[in-house]
Structure 1
Amino acid sequence: MRATISDLPPAVLRGVSQVDLQSDYRTAICFVIALFAGGWRFGAFGLLGTAVATVTAWFFGAPRERVTLGLEGFNGTLIGVALVLYFDVRWVTVLLVILGAIMGSVLTAALNALLTPHDLSTLTAPFCVITTVMVVGAPTFARVWGGRGLASPPSAGHPGATVTFTDLWQGLFNGIGQVFFQDRFYVGMIFLLGLLFAGPLVALAALVSSAVGIVVALLLGAAAADIGAGLYGYNAVLTGIALCGTFVAPTPLGVLYALVGVVSATVLTAFVTDLFRPVGGHTLTWPFVLVTWTFLAAVPIFSGVRRATT
């Protein structure tokens, strides 16, 4: 059954919350508020990307359930937020977001066709692919790049591994906000409030995962500024939400399994960052995607871990 036009507005709203794998409308409202709290450009371009991706999927006849739950829009959300962050508010950015969201919608369908037989979700892979292609290729086009330099992490301006208490508590919330490229702790708090509406387990998984990301980064000697900015937390947060209750049953062994995944995503963050840096790419949510796919694909082999019931 195909979605109707009246289904589209709530579907766009839920598309924003599906970035964190949630469909509760209260979570969606909090997430939109959080984006605008981070800056009007993030809210506006995030909604633009979500709307274009959702309408594209609807136009080509995606299943109604996927459209109404926001599953066709969330990659568009991240494409919109990422591109306005990297390319600023310009007419060419609007065109890139529209094009990227359309491409992301088609890629979402293609990946669904490939992954569904294996009981795997596309997650944010379409966003990662489209954004990486656009950002790495941008210097070729003068109207897109406009003389910009390669983006540097916070540690480039504030080197050192001496972590302060401020780095720790702000990094805890920034790890949640950085899922949407937000580095203001109060924005992360709004996102956390939205996750609470989705359920205490979801919010707890996000908070604990962000904390684990900080601990792992500390133990390995990551730069303090990057820890405080939440750069080692957001992939951990998404992985924790995915593997603890969303796709994997939160049994004692399941929670331990999720914890291993969170640690893996944190370590992989450094690898992916260094891998993409020479070509101007960004870490994005690649660690979350790769780790979650791996851990979900392994579930049928482990008798002590089972998939969550839907």
Structure 2
Amino acid sequence: MLQNNAWTGVLFLAGIFYDSIIMGAAALLAVITGTLTAKVLKYDEADIDAGLYGFSPTLVGVALTFYFNPVPVVWIAVVVGSVAAAMLQHFFIKRKLPGFTFPFILVTWIVLYLFHHVFAPGAAVDVVGSMPVKDDFTLATHGFGEVIFQGSVIAGIIFFIAVFVNSPIAALYGVCASLLGAFISLECSEPAPDIHMGLFSFNAVLCAIAFSGNKPRDGIWVLFSVVLSVFIDVWMLQMHMAVLTFPFVAASWITLIVQHLLQKAGLKIKE
């Protein structure tokens, strides 16, 4: 979630393990694999220490054990996918491009395509049944939890605290974005169970975190990117696509392009 803080990372890992030991183990295996890949290929040590070669592999590991039962070949896919994600991350870093979580998205899309009709579904099939009573509080927490494929209220709270530890304003923006994502998707007549699961909120949370800041203009960019991400999310789910964090990445890219064009045109949103 774009937080360069070791304690935040510990809490993320704790939240994953709280919901699923298997997904927690996959996260550890993936982050170690991605980091070792970066070290073997002699990528920049500062970037390695900052965790830039670990977060996309971690998401790959959690995603694959979320979508598929953890049979041996899935664990092999976690390792291979983590290596690929780290190398793709380097492609963006080397060119100073904002790749965000796109390496994770691309690798996971490929594996989902290859494995979809071969292996049995994993934890994903049980998520809806584990949802608690619907209310605004759980809507907000699921928005945080689903960023790393976790469905419990406790995991969502842990993830919120994890972000709050490093950036309180980013965490609070994330709560507002989670609720706004639910509201917009409700107005678009999306299924209530999907809304409650946080399927229309977690990309909004990521956008809010990415563009959060202390200035009023930061709030404008948060609002723009969040609304855009939710509409992309709605469209992708209506098309029965594997959404992952692509709405966040696409909305962030568009927002950055708009910012660049405004700056190039000599226009600047007042602080």
Please say whether Structure 1 and Structure 2 have the same fold, judged by a TM-score greater than 0.5. Answer: yes
Check if 1:135 corresponds to 2:112. Answer: yes
Shift of residue 261 of structure 1? 0.8
Among 91, 98, 111, the alignment partner of 1:110 is 91
Shift of residue 234 of structure 1? 0.3
Check if 1:256 corresponds to 2:220. Answer: yes
Match of residue 187 from structure 1: 155
Match of residue 70 from structure 2: 89
Match of residue 161 from structure 1: none
Check if 1:176 corresponds to 2:176. Answer: no
Superposition map of 1:203-282 within 5 A: 203-245=171-213, 250-275=214-239, 277=240, 281-282=241-242
Q: Contact 2:16–2:155 (CA<8 Å) still a contact in 1?
A: yes
Among 83, 94, 119, the alignment partner of 1:146 is 119
Count of aligned positions: 263
Match of residue 286 from structure 1: 246
Shift of residue 304 of structure 1? 2.5
* Alpha-carbon separation, structure 2, partners of 1:290 and 1:239: 10
Match of residue 46 from structure 1: 27
The CA deviation string for residues 101-127 of structure 1, in whole angstroms up to 9 with x for no partner, is 01111111122334x1xxx42100000
Q: Contact 2:208–2:222 (CA<8 Å) still a contact in 1?
A: yes
Match of residue 16 from structure 1: none
Q: Contact 2:69–2:119 (CA<8 Å) still a contact in 1?
A: no
SS at match of 2:134: helix
* 1:147–1:202 Cα change, 3 Å: closer
Shift of residue 294 of structure 1? 1.2
The CA deviation string for residues 242-281 of structure 1, in whole angstroms up to 9 with x for no partner, is 1123xxxx42222112101101101110112233x2xxx5
* Alpha-carbon separation, structure 1, partners of 2:230 and 2:121: 29
Q: Could you tell me which amino acid in structure 2 is paired with residue 208 of structure 1? A: C
* Alpha-carbon separation, structure 2, partners of 1:111 and 1:257: 23
Among 81, 84, 100, the alignment partner of 1:100 is 81
Q: Could you tell me which amino acid in structure 2 is paired with residue 263 of structure 1? A: V
Q: Could you tell me which amino acid in structure 2 is paired with residue 59 of structure 1? A: V
Q: Contact 2:225–2:252 (CA<8 Å) still a contact in 1?
A: yes
* Alpha-carbon separation, structure 2, partners of 1:132 and 1:27: 27
Q: Contact 1:254–1:305 (CA<8 Å) still a contact in 2?
A: no
TM-score, length-scaled by structure 2: 0.90
Segments of 4+ moved more than 4 angstroms: 151-155
* Alpha-carbon separation, structure 1, partners of 2:153 and 2:31: 24
Match of residue 124 from structure 1: 101
Superposition map of 1:48-63 within 5 A: 48-63=29-44
* Alpha-carbon separation, structure 2, partners of 1:298 and 1:43: 38
Q: Which moved more, 1:30-39 or 1:165-174?
A: 165-174
Unaligned 5+ runs, structure 1:
1-19, 158-163
* Alpha-carbon separation, structure 1, partners of 2:121 and 2:53: 32
TM-score, length-scaled by structure 1: 0.79
* Alpha-carbon separation, structure 2, partners of 1:152 and 1:227: 16
SS at match of 2:268: coil
Q: Could you tell me which amino acid in structure 2 is paired with residue 297 of structure 1? A: I
Superposition map of 1:160-175 within 5 A: 166-175=134-143
Shift of residue 297 of structure 1? 2.1
* 1:62–1:305 Cα change, 3 Å: farther
Match of residue 13 from structure 1: none
